[in-house]
A and B are shown apart, each in its own frame.
Chain A
Amino acid sequence: MKPALILHPSSLILHPLFTMSAIVELPDNVVVSRLDKLVSWCRKNSLWPMPFATACCGIELMATGASRHDIARFGAEVFRFSPRQCDLMIVAGRVVMKMLPVLQRIWQQMLEPKWCISMGACASTGGVFDTYSVVQGIDRFMPVDIYVPGCPPRPEQLIQSLVDLQEKIQREGTARGKEFLAPSRLRPKRALQEKGFGDWGLGENDG
């Protein structure tokens, strides 16, 4: 694995190359990094998933946790059924309108920092269930970090989404979680909002 700790001049310990005052001699076994990088490195390698499994995607989620695919290789094997102990919500399966308040409640009970993977076509868009009771994509009503296509996705796809999420956390993570309040994350997913029947919004880009 690529070492996440890098040399950075803005660290608390001043680097001898960049300042002539306060020279600190570092022994060879000390690596200097930014706190944000270090915290993100810790977080991304110990994601604890909350399995919100409502349909057949949940079976694939279980297969991902089982020995053949073994999500423990990526440090995310600790499935917890209490939202207080989790920081990664995996919504695996369709969410009906009766279940959505439950999903939102569980999401709100999870401690910060937290991330959400929308697994499969149903959680992401409603899938084939374009009916009165099925929510057409959970991202209309709660934040989603990674979407996994598939019906259901294979375990490899879910693992790939986990790796992508780890990369995302490492790339933009901050110790205080400032990245969650970026405007792009707070913006509602307008592209997925329902148009009137017969009007598919062709020609307008809601982005």
Chain B
Amino acid sequence: MMDESRVIGSLRAEFPDLTTDEFREQTRIVVPLEKLYAVLEFLKEQAALDYLIDVTCVDYLHYPTEKPDRFGLVYLLANSETNVRLTVRCYVGGPEPTVPSAVSLWEAANWLEREVWDLFGIRFTDHPDLRRIVLPEPFSAHPLRKDYPLQGRGERHNFPVVTRKEE
């Protein structure tokens, strides 16, 4: 039976220079963007993490200090038989952050990546259907970015007024 440390050990053997990160006795792997897809593929094919629980993102715009790679992308993986769980993180930034899509590994990534694209504006290359999933299609911003104003930029007021006269 494989546990989390053995998965990390086998991953280290394949990718020697990976950094890890501890929080409340949970180990998270921090992957550079160039190796993200290779690591995910290894975890799926070799380490048998067959279940993609979530793909989500955190915008560390000014937290704790300003940094170029502001978006912390998070992949939560698991094995559906042994219950091994693993968190993979990848920091991306730039005006148009672009990340390889994981849909070819886990079908579940389809909608999850669409949600990250919708709310954070991170583009996933080779995604089969990268459209907005929550917000309406004409929406022009990515509102979970920390530099987006809480009350929006007038999207909630951009509607015609229906009166009784027009009907």
Name A residues whose Cβ lies closer than 8 Å to a Cβ of B. 97-98, 100-101, 104, 107-108, 112, 130-136, 140-143, 180-181, 185-186, 188, 194, 197
* Interface range, B side: 20 to 34
Q: Does B156 lie at the interface of the complex (its beta carbon under 8 Å from any beta carbon of A)?
A: yes
Q: Is the interface of B mostly helix, strand, loop or mixed?
A: loop
Question: Which A residues are in CB contact (< 8 Å) with B161?
Answer: 140-142, 188
Of B32-40, B48-56, B82-90, B145-153, the one touching chain A: B145-153
Partner of A132, one of B143, B160, B165: B143
A24 to B157, CA, bound (A): 60
Tell me the residues in window 73-108 of chain B with beta carbons closer than 8 Å to chain A beta carbons.
Answer: none
Identity of the chain A residue whose Cβ is nearest the Cβ of B136 in the assembled complex: A98
What are 25 A-to-B residue pairs whose CB atoms are below 8 Å?
A97-B136, A97-B158, A97-B159, A104-B159, A104-B160, A108-B167, A130-B150, A130-B151, A132-B149, A132-B150, A132-B151, A132-B156, A133-B143, A133-B156, A135-B159, A140-B157, A140-B159, A140-B161, A141-B160, A141-B161, A142-B163, A143-B162, A181-B165, A188-B163, A197-B151
Max count, chain A CB within 10 A of own CB: residue among B152, B164, B165: B164
Question: Which B residues are in CB contact (< 8 Å) with A140?
Answer: 157, 159, 161
A130 to B151, CA, bound (A): 6
Given A97-B136, A98-B136, is A132 in contact with B159 using a C-beta cutoff of 8 Å? no
Question: Which A residues are in CB contact (< 8 Å) with B135?
Answer: 98, 133
Name B residues whose Cβ lies closer than 8 Å to a Cβ of A. 135-136, 143, 148-153, 155-165, 167
Q: Is A108 a contact of B151 with CB atoms below 8 Å? A: no
Given A98-B136, A140-B157, is A108 in contact with B162 using a C-beta cutoff of 8 Å? yes
Q: Is B159 a contact of A100 with CB atoms below 8 Å? A: yes
